[in-house]
Structure 1
Amino acid sequence: MAQIISFLNGKGGVGKTTLALNVATALGNKGYSVIAIDTDPQFSLSDFHHETMPFDVAEAESEKDIYKVRKNYNHHDFIIIDGAGSLNNIAAAAVFMSDLVIIPITPSALDFRASGSLIDVIEARNDTQPVKVIARWVVNKAVSGTVMTDLLKQAISDSGIEAFKTRIAQRQSYIRSLNNEGETIYNSKDSLAKGEIDVLVKEILGVLSHG
């Protein structure tokens, strides 16, 4: 049965699509069968995708499409849902369909506050459904040599949702890799960026295997 991983946050600009693309690529490179579901109204992920990439892409225009992803794409090992830049019905459906919800945030307490509605949806699923969804924060666009504010650390702790140990640095190579259709960080020469995505994927696989 396919495992569903969603990248969701009610705030735009936190790097959901970049992370979804690179994680899907990393899983595909490991030999897994992967499909990414583009939920953005502009379908930017679909436009960017190239047949040479190690994963497939499909589009979801409504929550009905999301509720059908496991039925339609269960022959894949992983279904990656790339959430839009707002918390909408599609994102809520993704929470209810997912095995793992990854919430990207930048090292800012303001970004954390924007995730409150998403946390409410996660709690609603876990309060009403027999099978719980796993949720994890991932700190993205972290600036080298700085630490998360004490306020953000406390907010993450109080949320009841753990954060991945891996923090994704703010690197120009992530931006440059998206300038060309069909390229991800794995087409760059930035070994540090490739390494941190590989470590993040290792964490993701560990969470999914152990619950």
Structure 2
Amino acid sequence: MPKTKSLKTVTLPDKLPKILSFLNQKGGAGKSTGAVHTVDWFAQRGYSAILVDADGQQSSSSWLEELELPCKVINDPEALFDELPKLADSYDVVVVDGPGNASEVTKAVLIRSNLVLIPCRDSMIDLASTGKIVQFVRQAKEIRGGMPIAALYLNAVKENTILLREAKEALQSGILPLLSTALPDRQCIKDAPGQGSTVFRMRGSSPKAAAGFYTQLLIEALKLFESES
């Protein structure tokens, strides 16, 4: 079991999800960016973490190669079902970058995940697109007796806008919790894949601020998992 570790004033919960997945049926929601930053976030705190790229585009796996972090491409649902528990036995945390569609791969990931994070942009089209993945999560919870723990979060948002307020109101009325931390729209986050980096490794005040938002988001998600699992 991983030990409690801290960075400055941040202390991780004692109970961590062995398999943490980023899912959304809509491409461009921020799954890959969230998954890669999460793997690097854990790795920089001394945990053994691996990313499983279950997305057919395989954008996160090439990114991980540049970061020199462990990654495995598995986009067959039967292989995912079999391999994810084995990887969980070998690593402290397995992070899954799910496909940009609602498919059998998504269902296989849900059956094996402990914690699922669903990124969503603050547009009406993106908000409407969450319906299918939320349905998949609800069905998995019924089958597995409450697992996986799942939550939505707003990604790449423009701060202090009417649209953001309306998006929060819309998502808060759903069956899954909405994390209070929203990731802001920052150029440094968009630049990270092209630079083969993450905001945790980039210099400057903007990456540092973005890194703070990621840390806040992940700590909130991990505390939710600890309290509900």
**TM-score normalised by structure 2 residue count:** 0.84
Matches within 5 A, 1:79-158: 79-149=94-164, 151-158=166-173
Deviations 1:97-137 (A, max 9, x none): 11111110011232121111111111111122235211101
**TM-score normalised by structure 1 residue count:** 0.91
How many pairs are equivalent? 209
For 2:168 and 2:221, locate their aligned partners in 1 and report how far apart those are by CA, in whole Å. 21
Partner of 2:76: 62
Q: Which runs of 5+ in 2 are unaligned?
A: 2-16
Pair 1:143–1:75, CA change in 2 (3 A)? same
Runs of 4+ in 1 over 6 A off after TM superposition: none
Structure 1 stretch displaced more, 8-17 or 200-209 = 200-209
Matches within 5 A, 1:163-182: 163-181=178-196
> Is the CA contact 2:87–2:94 (under 8 Å) kept in the aligned structure 1?
no
Partner of 2:4: none
SS of 1:114 mapped into structure 2 = helix
Pair 1:105–1:193, CA change in 2 (3 A)? same
Pair 1:160–1:202, CA change in 2 (3 A)? same
Partner of 2:199: 185
Task: Name which of 211, 214, 224 aligns with 1:194.
Answer: 211
| Root-mean-square deviation over aligned CA pairs | 1.8
Query: What is the one-letter code of the residue matched to 2:176?
Result: I
Query: What is the one-letter code of the residue matched to 1:35?
Result: I
For 1:199 and 1:46, locate their aligned partners in 2 and report how far apart those are by CA, in whole Å. 25
> Is the CA contact 1:11–1:85 (under 8 Å) kept in the aligned structure 2?
yes
